[in-house]
Amino acid sequence: MNQAKSSTYSIAQLGHAVLRQRAAEVENILADECQQLINQMMLAVSEAGGVGIAAPQIHHSVRIFIMCSKPNARYPDAPLMAPTAIINPEILHCSSEKVKGWEGCLSVPSMRGLVPRHSQITVRYFDQQNNEHKKEFTGFIARIFQHELDHLNGLTFIDQLESTKDLISEVEWYQQFAKTP
C-alpha cells in the first residue's frame, strides 16, 4: 500500500472511516493538545507538499484545517499564502457563480477531479491564537477553503463531482494538463 507517512503522522486514505465523519467543534483552541495538533498538521502538509490539509486526514476528527497555498508541481499557478490554521470554520455567504477547477487530494493521491466550487465566499473562523476572522476569499484560495471544509463535513472532492467523467488519474492529468518548464 502506498500511504503517505512520516515519523509523526499518516494520511488517511479514501475509504477510511474518519474521512466520512462530521468533525467535532474545537472547544479550547489554546489547549496544548490543540496547539500540538496544529503544529503536527503544519508539518504534515509541508512534508506532503499539499496546499491544505484537514485534521481528519491525519486521523483527528476535529474542525481544523491548514491552508498554505504555494506554487508546486501539482498547482503551478497557486498564489502564495502563509500557512494558516483555520479553526471552527463556516461559510457565511457564497457567490451563485461556480467555477470548475482541477483538484487533487492527499487522501486520494492517484486521482484528480474537475470540481465545481463557488468562485467567491465569505467565511468566519478562528486562528491558532483564538482570534476570530471574517474574510472574503476568491479563486484558488476559495477553492482550497471549500475543499478542506468538505473534509470536516465527511466529504471528499469526489463527492462534489457532477459526473464521474470529470475524474482522471493523476498520471493522465500530468500528461494532459501539466505545464512543462
* Residue range of the domain that includes 98: 17-177
Q: Is 151 annotated as a binding residue?
A: yes
Residue 43 host element (H or E) = helix 32-48
- Residue 47 covered by a domain: yes
- Residue 1 covered by a domain: no
Number of structural domains found in the chain: 1
Cell triple for 70:
504555494
Whether the Cβ atoms of residue 66 and residue 86 lie closer than 8 Å to each other: yes
Q: Is 147 annotated as a binding residue?
A: yes
- Residue 36 covered by a domain: yes
Domain containing residue 21: CATH number: 3.90.45.10
- Residue 12 covered by a domain: no
- Name the residue type at position 104: G
Cell triple for 143:
477553492
- Residue 62 covered by a domain: yes
Task: State the CB neighbour count (10 A cutoff) for residue 177.
Answer: 10
pTM value is: 0.93
The residues with which 10 forms a beta bridge, in sequence order, are 5
Q: Known catalytic residues?
A: 148
- Residue 57 covered by a domain: yes
One digit per residue, pLDDT tens: the chain, 181 residues?
234 444 457 999 999 999 999 999 999 999 999 999 999 999 999 998 899 999 999 999 999 999 999 988 778 889 999 999 999 999 999 999 999 999 999 999 999 999 999 999 999 999 999 999 999 999 999 999 999 999 999 999 999 999 999 999 999 998 998 876 5
- Residue 134 covered by a domain: yes
Q: What is the CA radius of gyration of the chain?
A: 16
